[in-house]
Amino acid sequence: MEHLELFFKSIFIDNMVFATFLGMCSYLAVSKKVSTAVGLGAAVIFVMAITVPLNWLLDTYILKDGALAWLGPEYAQYDLSFLSFIMFIATIATMVQLVEIIVEKFSPALYNSLGIFLPLIAVNCAILGGSLFMQSREIQSLGLAFNYGVSSGIGWFLAIIAIAAIREKIRYSNVPAPLRGLGITFIITGLMAIGFMSFGGMLTGGEDEETTEQTAIVAPAENDAVEATEDAINLAENEKEIKE
Amino acid sequence: MGLLSKKDAKLITDPLADNNPITIQVLGICSALAITAELKASIVMSIAVLFVLGVGNVVISLMRNIIPSKIRIIVQLIVVATLVIIVDLILKAFAYELSKTLSVFVGLIITNCIIMGRFEAFALANGPWRSFLDGIGNSLGYAVILIIVGFFRELLGSGSLLGIKVLGDPIEKTGVYAFGYENNGFMLLAPMALITVGIIIWVQRSRNEALIEDN
């Protein structure tokens, strides 16, 4: 149950892109085509599934206040948590390189589809963000940490595929010139984020008063977002028909 | 500017408008948007990035001839991570409340693409002084957008600036609230940051036609 809750929570409610804006740089840069977006998204899931549990181990057995107690009682007083940034990023950077080398050796086919994205991932904020959130939300066990890594990765994957699909369609619509490209992508992402906020009440079942209120405010806006994207898609389809 | 030659001055002024890191180069959006609900947090974040990018650019530029190109990303990450730890500890010591608001986003300066982008594109190929100016210029460009977004979100969302209630008191109905004005709480929610930046991009590109992209 705990696992299921964390799983859905990290995909929909705390979605990396829509709730915390992590990994926006590659999200905007690599979302022009669905096929490349799938490649990058898969690589993110993969790397997060490895680095989050690994950093959890680091955090629990080396960095936390009193974590060194397993070495002997005299080490129990050390608190190395100020080193966590540097340790986490070093783990991520080396893991990414290691994964790249291993994948290249054992699965050239996978390397060809994921390979070019792996170096990009070392500096993707979503990866480091996943580890930092894992630390600040005090995730309890290794299993949950793995779950958190995979599900946040899936959330990011969903987001980049959705935006890539919309951007492929929107190419056929008549966007005002200054908004073309980056501008409209930002605004669509904003609307999608509003849509994702409606998942906020999912886990509380509407019992929590505050959340219900929030969803009530958000609900009409969410319809707008859906309508707006639907409009965009309809428009694109109409224009396609006209062309044909 | 007597101190700077024309070429050096351009390094600072360019990123402020026509080569802005956020709206044109699309770098560093990651950690920028989430913390702009308050003007104060935006300003502190800008100062943190100014420090990290300014100093980091100089360090990388000084080491550029001894870094083997194969492991340069790890070297760069270590340099940034060290600087960010300094910023984080200073914030925790002198502005604890604020460092709680910024939470993980201070740590995320490490993977802020502006920093890695400038290291790669500029500091690895230029001398320390020019790299320093480039770092300052780019972080000022980043700061401008953050402060504009923070200004509008705090003003429209909670009717205050830097925590001072400039529009009057919403509960006692003074100032503009006396005429039935209401705070737009929606501006405080995360998605509005994206839409605000979208509008900034719109305004900027309408003023300068050369920046318009193809679909």
Share of chain B above pLDDT 90, in %: 0
Flag whether pLDDT at A209 surpasses 70: no
Say if CB A161 and CB A37 are below 8 A apart: yes
Of residues A139, A165, A124, the one with CA closest to residue A5: A139
Tokens at residue A204, please?
């509380």
Flag whether pLDDT at A162 surpasses 80: yes
Q: What is the C-alpha to C-alpha distance for residues A15 and A153, in angstroms, rounded to an integer?
A: 9
Give how far the C-alpha of residue A140 lies from the chain's centroid of Cα atoms, to the nearest Å: 21
Domain boundaries, chain B: 41-139, 151-206
Q: What is the predicted pLDDT for the residue at A243?
A: 47
What's the ipTM? 0.78
Work out the average pLDDT over A75-86: 79
SS3 content of chain A, % helix, strand, coil (to 5): 80, 0, 20
Q: Closest to B104 (Cβ–Cβ): which among A19, A132, A183?
A: A132
- Residues A9-50: pLDDT tens digits? 888 888 888 887 788 877 887 778 888 788 788 888 888 888
Q: What is the C-alpha to C-alpha distance for residues B128 and A160, in angstroms, rounded to an integer?
A: 38
Whether the CB of B89 is below 8 Å from some CB of chain A: the reply is yes
Work out the average pLDDT over A194-200: 82
Q: What is the pTM of this model?
A: 0.77
For residue A178, give the amino acid letter.
P
Give how far the C-alpha of residue B88 lies from the chain's centroid of Cα atoms, to the nearest Å: 16
Q: What is the predicted pLDDT for the residue at A154?
A: 92
With CB atoms and an 8 Å threshold, state whether A129 touches B81. no
Residues of B in contact with A23 (CB under 8 A): 30
Which helix (H) or strand (E) segment is A3 a member of? helix A2-8
Q: Closest to A86 (Cβ–Cβ): which among B27, B78, B190?
A: B78
Of residues B167, B48, B39, B74, the one with CA closest to residue A123: B74
Work out the average pLDDT over A66-70: 74
Work out the average pLDDT over B127-136: 85
Residues 6+ apart with CB under 8 A from A1: none
Shortest Cα distance, chain A CAs vs residue B71, angstroms? 10
Flag whether pLDDT at A235 surpasses 60: no
Q: Closest to A23 (Cβ–Cβ): which among B30, B78, B190?
A: B30
Q: Which among A60-64, A160-164, B186-190 has the top mean pLDDT?
A: A160-164
